[in-house]
């Protein structure tokens, strides 16, 4: 099960909705909810993730951000008003305030556990993506979706970079 699948299932059970009931609120088929929960389907698009978060009552800024990070669809809008703080032994350093009783780095850690091998081939992957974009004639809507996905990947990498800097400084 993926981290997103775990978060989705936990939130759905908290709201006492069946997979079919939740699917009806989005609207998507209940089997799609099941497949996301078990990791048989990748996390959804941003559009569906927002609908899921709304239907599940995920309104807390931190929990919503973690939900979107796990789905790989977080945006600047989701991070507005949040401040990263330096943690020492799991506690905010003196003079720093945490945005929630559960610190973001702890909650996001498992969603961001990326193997070093990912970065070994990243240059080749980027070139492959550039080639696909150049050779694929995208509609305006498809281009918008691809840009959103690339923007999410960029934000995720920037977030990881910030976390590593904070660990080095700490």
Average pLDDT of the residues in 132-158 = 79
**Fold of the 1-170 domain:** 434 Repressor (Amino-terminal Domain) (1.10.260)
How much is the pLDDT for 102? 42
pLDDT value of position 69: 87
Percent of the chain scoring above 70 in pLDDT: 73
pLDDT tens for residues 80-117? 777 655 555 555 555 544 444 443 433 333 334 445 55
Question: pTM for the complete prediction?
Answer: 0.54
Closest CA to 33 of 47, 46, 48: 48
> Model confidence at 120, in pLDDT bands (50, 70, 90)?
low
Question: For the purposes of burial, counting CB atoms within 10 Å of the CB of 19, is it exposed (0-12), middle (13-18) or buried (19 or more)?
Answer: buried
Alpha carbon distance 47, 45 (integer Å)? 5
For residue 104, the SS3 value is helix
Distance CA 168, CA 170 (A): 5
Least reliable range by pLDDT among 57-66, 105-114, 117-126, 136-145: 105-114
Query: What pLDDT does residue 98 have?
Result: 44
Q: Name which residue leads in pLDDT, 19 or 60.
A: 19
Phi, psi of 44 (to 5 degrees): -80, 180
Question: So what's the pLDDT on residue 99?
Answer: 44
What ranges do the domains of the chain cover?
1-170
More confident residue, 126 or 71: 71
Helical ranges in 15-139 per DSSP H: 19-25, 30-38, 46-55, 61-70, 76-79, 104-109, 116-120, 122-135
Which value, to the nearest 10 degrees, does the dihedral of the CA atoms of residues 18, 7, 57, 87 take? 160
For residues 59-74, give the mean pLDDT: 87
Secondary structure (3-state) at 96: coil
pLDDT exceeds 90 at position 144: no
Does the N-terminal peptide bond of residue 27 adopt cis geometry, omega within 30 degrees of 0? yes
What confidence tens digit (pLDDT) does each residue in 37-63 have?
Answer: 998 888 899 999 999 999 999 998 888
């Amino acid at each position: 099960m993926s981290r997103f699948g775990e978060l989705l299932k936990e939130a759905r059970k908290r709201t006492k909705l069946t997979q079919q009931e939740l699917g009806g609120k989005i609207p998507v088929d209940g089997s799609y909810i099941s497949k996301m929960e078990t990791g048989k389907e990748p996390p959804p698009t941003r559009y569906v993730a927002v609908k899921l978060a709304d239907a599940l009552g995920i309104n807390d800024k931190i929990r919503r951000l973690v939900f979107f990070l796990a789905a790989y669809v977080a945006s600047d809008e989701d991070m507005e008003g949040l401040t990263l703080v330096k943690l020492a032994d799991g506690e905010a350093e003196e003079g720093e305030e945490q945005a929630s009783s559960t610190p973001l780095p702890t909650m996001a850690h498992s969603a961001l556990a990326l193997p070093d091998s990912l970065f070994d081939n990243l240059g080749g992957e980027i070139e492959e993506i550039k080639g696909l974009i150049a050779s694929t004639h995208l509609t305006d809507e498809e281009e918008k979706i691809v840009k959103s996905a690339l923007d999410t990947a960029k934000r995720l990498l920037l977030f990881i970079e910030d976390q590593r800097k904070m660990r080095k400084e700490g």
